[in-house]
């Protein structure tokens, strides 16, 4: 499923909570992006230091290993809110009405159950690392901060899934075609049209700036 940002909003409590949670998800995703940017700078500095001065950054691999958790997990809930996770919707895209929202409710419930298991397992893994003082092999960098990111990210994802279950349940009850707080399915033609409009808009802005 292509990334979908078509999310309806209204003045209901559900929509207000969705927007509030989205702010937190956006900030955590931004944090993950800043970590990626820092790693690019870090890698460049390491390469130049090794090449020019034969002085690589001490514990470079250890730092990269710890940063991977921030890069991989901080954007989980944001991606779920945007409908950006990979999924097969060949059959689901053909369903309409209450049956569609019921199907989405069941799949989201299954995702929530799996996520709660992951919260439990990753929390145990973090606590074990914290309790024994686990550290990296080279510079003895503590591993528990990176391992703490994983259950925190999964907890936030679980909250997002619970909110979406609420939204799907509300959609079933109201039998609405545009429920709030959930990403709406778009067909390939709609996605292609939206992308084309975005490219044309960017091209127009570029031409206008060049003319001025």
Residue 95 to residue 177: CA distance in whole angstroms = 12
| DSSP states along 72-120 | HHTTHHHHHHHT-S----TTGGG--HHHHHHHHHHHHHHHHHHHHHHHH
Give pLDDT, residue 1: 40
The answer to whether position 188 is within a domain reads: yes
Alpha-carbon distance of 209 to 212, in angstroms, equals 5
β-bridge mates for residue 8, sequence order: 180
Q: How far is CA 27 from CA 13, 64, 74, 88, 101, in A?
A: 22, 22, 9, 28, 29
CA 207 to chain centre: 34
Relative orientation angle of helices 13-53 and 144-174, to the nearest 10 degrees? 150
Residue 132 lies in a domain: yes
The H or E element containing residue 168 is: helix 144-174
Range of the domain at 181: 13-192
**CA 111, CA 90: separation in Å to the nearest integer?**
19
Residue 26 structure tokens: 């956006």
Residue 135 β-bridge partners: 142
Q: What values do phi and psi take at 9, rounded to 5?
A: -135, 155
Q: Is residue 197 part of a domain?
A: no
In a domain, 8, yes or no: no
The answer to whether residue 101 is domain-embedded is yes
Q: What is the pLDDT of residues 56-93, one digit of tens each?
A: 898 999 999 999 999 999 999 999 999 888 777 777 77
| 93 or 119, which is more confident | 119
Task: With cut-offs at 50, 70 and 90, classify the pLDDT of residue 205.
Answer: low
In a domain, 125, yes or no: yes
In a domain, residue 37? The reply is: yes
Domain count, the chain: 1
Mean pLDDT, the chain, integer: 88
Q: Mind listing the pLDDT tens digit for each residue in 144-202? A: 999 999 999 999 999 999 999 999 999 999 998 889 999 886 666 666 676 677 677 76
Q: pLDDT value at position 10?
A: 87
Does residue 65 lie in a domain region? yes
What pLDDT sits at residue 210? Answer: 63
The Cα 103–Cα 57 span in angstroms is 51
């Amino acid at each position: 499923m292509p990334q979908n940002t078509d999310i309806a909003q209204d003045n209901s409590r559900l929509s207000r909570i969705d927007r509030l949670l989205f702010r937190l998800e956006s900030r955590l995703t931004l944090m993950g992006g800043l970590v990626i940017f820092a790693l690019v700078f870090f890698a460049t500095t390491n390469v130049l230091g090794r090449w020019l001065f034969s002085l690589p950054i001490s514990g470079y691999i250890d730092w990269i290993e710890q940063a991977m958790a921030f890069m991989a997990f901080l954007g989980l809930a944001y991606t779920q809110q945007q409908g950006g996770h990979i999924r097969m919707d060949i059959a689901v895209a053909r369903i309409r009405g209450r049956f569609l929202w019921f199907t989405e409710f069941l799949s989201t419930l299954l995702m929530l159950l799996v996520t709660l298991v992951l919260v439990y397992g990753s929390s145990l893994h973090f606590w074990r690392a914290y309790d024994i003082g686990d550290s990296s092999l080279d510079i003895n960098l503590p591993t528990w901060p990176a391992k703490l990111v994983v259950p925190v990210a999964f907890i936030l994802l679980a909250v997002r899934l619970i909110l979406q279950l609420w939204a799907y349940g509300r959609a079933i009850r109201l039998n609405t075609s545009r429920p709030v707080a959930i990403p709406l399915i778009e067909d390939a033609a709609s996605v292609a049209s939206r992308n084309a409009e975005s490219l044309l808009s960017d091209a127009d802005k570029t031409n206008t700036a060049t003319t001025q």
